[in-house]
């Protein structure tokens, strides 16, 4: 019905009367709900014959009411879904299994999705890991066939990016095929990371840095691209790890259970550590060290329902494993509340207040600060037997107690080499450390 001009009198279509603006109830049937009555719907009614006509205003009112009643996803939300994952209508249809015409109608508002469809898309918007899992199952290898846009030698700018990528490390874990030429490596990287060219890949890698709370060795040579790809690698593995919905209160409760495992052999408790964290909604990933990545660990919220902690096992010893793990847990407990939280890079770790707070939380949680202060006063230069006795009292491994003691003292008061000789400062072998990241679902990203 054409829009009515102000004060315009419209003739009735059924008699010689004139239509008047009224508000009346409107009744309809919905598949999942049944009979629905919408009150005060704007209509036009003829007082002479009683005929009623719905205009544009009435139709919009009914649509809005039905959307509220059914909880139908809106066109704006559908557009957000496409934008969030960079999808065309055709790609969204291929991944979700819904027809391209349906996707188009939902995006334009020409058709109302059912409650189940609406809930499905809202879950994908809220949980990136759910989307990635669906994508891998439904879309398979077709997700990357369009990348790169062309196979060619890298440009001079792209070669700068290529030099910062630890291609050998990526090949060792099977993420990319072993290639030697710059052209082939460019092609492999663009396909695997779904980038049109290496400059785009580099930008995507650097964008990861701001999304992560990261423990970085600032005295080591660092590449933003290598570091960003290391993070990307860990996040891709985390997408395949099943966890319960993230719950900070459950994570806080899990800290006690984790601390009780610190006195045991590290290789034996890793599965338990992963399971405890998974129950709280945190995926623990071990990512192999890559040249110039400089990270010991990092964490972020991947979605409202999943967090990830990526651990490099850079120093391959028990003390560093637990201190880095608790450092990253500290960020989740103290600093990270939203997926959009930003963590600016720092030049010196001690100058970053959140890094300092995470260090203190980790050290105080593992080795109670009040007891450490009292012990330090009694034994400013403790012998191995004394630090071992103290560790036993606070129920933590001797290696952790010694590490925290030295950090608080600002120097190596307790000799690590001496503790190692006595079997009090255990290290993982290179093979044992490699076993940890080899048992990530990293190959699933390949």
Signed CA dihedral, 290, 291, 293, 295: sign only? positive
CB atoms within 10 A of CB 419: 20
Residue range 197-224, pLDDT digits in tens: 899 999 988 888 877 887 777 677 888 8
Q: Looking at the domain 10-70, which fold is it?
A: Ubiquitin-like (UB roll) (3.10.20)
Residue 107 contacts residue 82 (beta carbons within 8 Å): yes
Percent of the chain at pLDDT > 90 equals 37
At residue 348, the pLDDT reads 63
User: Strand 34-45 and strand 18-30: pairing?
Assistant: antiparallel
Which residue reads 């052999």 in tokens? Answer: 265
Which residue reads 């919009």 in tokens? Answer: 60
Task: Give the pLDDT band (50/70/90) at residue 144.
Answer: very low
At residue 347, the pLDDT reads 64
At residue 70, the pLDDT reads 65
Local structure of 401: helix, strand or coil? helix
* From 90-94, 129-133, 435-439, the region with the lowest mean pLDDT: 435-439
* Closest to 106 measured CA to CA, from 130, 70, 79, 138: 79
Q: Order of strands across the sheet with 34-45?
A: 10-11, 18-30, 34-45, 52-53
> Stretch 274-296: mean pLDDT, rounded?
90
DSSP 1: -
Residue range 223-275, pLDDT digits in tens: 889 988 988 888 888 888 888 899 999 999 999 999 999 999 888 899 999 99
Q: Phi and psi (nearest 5°) for 297?
A: -170, 165
Please give the Cα distance from 316 to 319 (Å, whole number): 9
At residue 441, the pLDDT reads 52
DSSP string, 39-59: EEEEEEE-TTT--EE--HHHH
Please give the Cα distance from 191 to 172 (Å, whole number): 17
CB atoms within 10 A of CB 245: 12
The answer on pLDDT for 446 being more than 50 is no
Task: Give the pLDDT band (50/70/90) at residue 294.
Answer: confident
Q: At a CB cut-off of 8 Å and minimum separation 6, what does 128 contact?
A: 239, 302, 303
Local structure of 282: helix, strand or coil? strand
Residue 151 contacts residue 187 (beta carbons within 8 Å): yes
> Stretch 422-445: mean pLDDT, rounded?
71
Residue 379 contacts residue 405 (beta carbons within 8 Å): no
| Predicted TM-score (pTM) of this structure | 0.66
Local structure of 35: helix, strand or coil? strand
Which of 3-12, 204-213, 399-408 has the largest mean confidence? 399-408
Local structure of 26: helix, strand or coil? strand
Average pLDDT along the chain = 84
Task: Give the pLDDT band (50/70/90) at residue 139.
Answer: very low
> Stretch 32-41: mean pLDDT, rounded?
78
Which residue reads 């049937």 in tokens? Answer: 29
At residue 141, the pLDDT reads 36
At residue 27, the pLDDT reads 83
Residues linked to residue 38 through DSSP beta bridges, in sequence order: 26
Please give the Cα distance from 27 to 7 (Å, whole number): 28
The answer on pLDDT for 5 being more than 60 is no
Whats the size of the chain, residue-wise?
A: 446
Residue range 412-426, pLDDT digits in tens: 999 999 999 999 998
The answer on pLDDT for 407 being more than 60 is yes
Q: Which residue has the higher pLDDT, 17 or 252?
A: 252
The answer on pLDDT for 444 being more than 50 is no
The answer on pLDDT for 84 being more than 70 is yes
The answer on pLDDT for 126 being more than 70 is yes
CB atoms within 10 A of CB 83: 9
Q: Which residue has the higher pLDDT, 405 or 145?
A: 405
């Amino acid at each position: 019905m054409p829009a009515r001009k102000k004060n315009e009198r419209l003739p009735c279509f059924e008699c010689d009367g004139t239509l008047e603006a009224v508000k009346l109830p409107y009744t309809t049937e919905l598949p999942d709900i049944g009979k629905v009555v919408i009150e005060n719907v704007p209509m036009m009614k003829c007082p002479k014959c009683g005929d009623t006509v719905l205009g544009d205003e009435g139709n919009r009112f009914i649509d809005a009411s039905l959307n509220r009643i059914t909880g139908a996803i809106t066109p704006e939300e559908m557009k957000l879904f496409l934008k969030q994952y960079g999808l065309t209508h055709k790609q969204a249809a291929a991944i979700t299994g819904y027809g391209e015409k349906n996707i188009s109608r939902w995006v334009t508002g020409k058709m109302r999705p059912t409650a189940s469809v609406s809930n499905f898309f809202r879950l994908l918007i809220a949980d990136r890991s759910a989307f990635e899992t669906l994508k891998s199952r439904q879309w398979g290898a077709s997700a990357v066939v369009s990348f790169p846009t062309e196979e060619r030698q890298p440009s001079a700018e792209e070669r700068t990016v290529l030099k910062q990528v630890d291609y050998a490390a990526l090949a060792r874990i099977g993420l990319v095929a072993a290639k030697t030429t710059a052209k082939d490596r460019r092609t492999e990287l663009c396909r695997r990371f779904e980038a049109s060219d290496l400059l785009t890949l580099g930008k995507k890698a650097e964008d990861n840095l701001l999304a992560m709370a990261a423990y970085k060795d600032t005295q080591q040579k660092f590449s933003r691209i290598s570091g960003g790809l290391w993070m990307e690698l860990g996040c891709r593995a985390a997408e395949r790890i099943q966890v319960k919905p993230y719950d900070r209160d459950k994570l806080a409760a899990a800290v006690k259970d984790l601390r009780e495992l610190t006195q045991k052999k590290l290789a034996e408790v890793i599965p338990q550590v992963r399971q405890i964290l998974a129950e709280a909604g945190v995926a623990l990933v071990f990512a192999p060290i890559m040249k110039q990545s400089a990270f010991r660990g990092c964490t972020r919220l991947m979605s409202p329902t999943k967090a990830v902690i990526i651990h490099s096992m850079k120093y391959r010893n028990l003390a560093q494993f637990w201190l880095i793990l608790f450092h990253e847990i500290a960020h989740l407990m103290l600093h990270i509340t939203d997926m959009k939280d930003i963590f600016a890079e720092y030049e010196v770790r001690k100058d970053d207040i959140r890094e300092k707070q995470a260090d203190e939380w980790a050290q105080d949680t593992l080795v109670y600060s009040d007891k450490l202060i009292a012990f330090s006063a009694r034994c400013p230069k403790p012998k191995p037997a004394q630090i071992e006795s103290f560790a036993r009292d606070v129920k933590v491994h001797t290696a952790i107690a010694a590490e925290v003691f030295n950090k608080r003292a600002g120097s190596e008061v307790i000799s690590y080499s001496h503790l190692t000789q006595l079997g009090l400062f255990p290290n993982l072998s290179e093979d044992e450390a490699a076993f940890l990241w080899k048992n990530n679902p990293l190959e699933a990203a390949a």
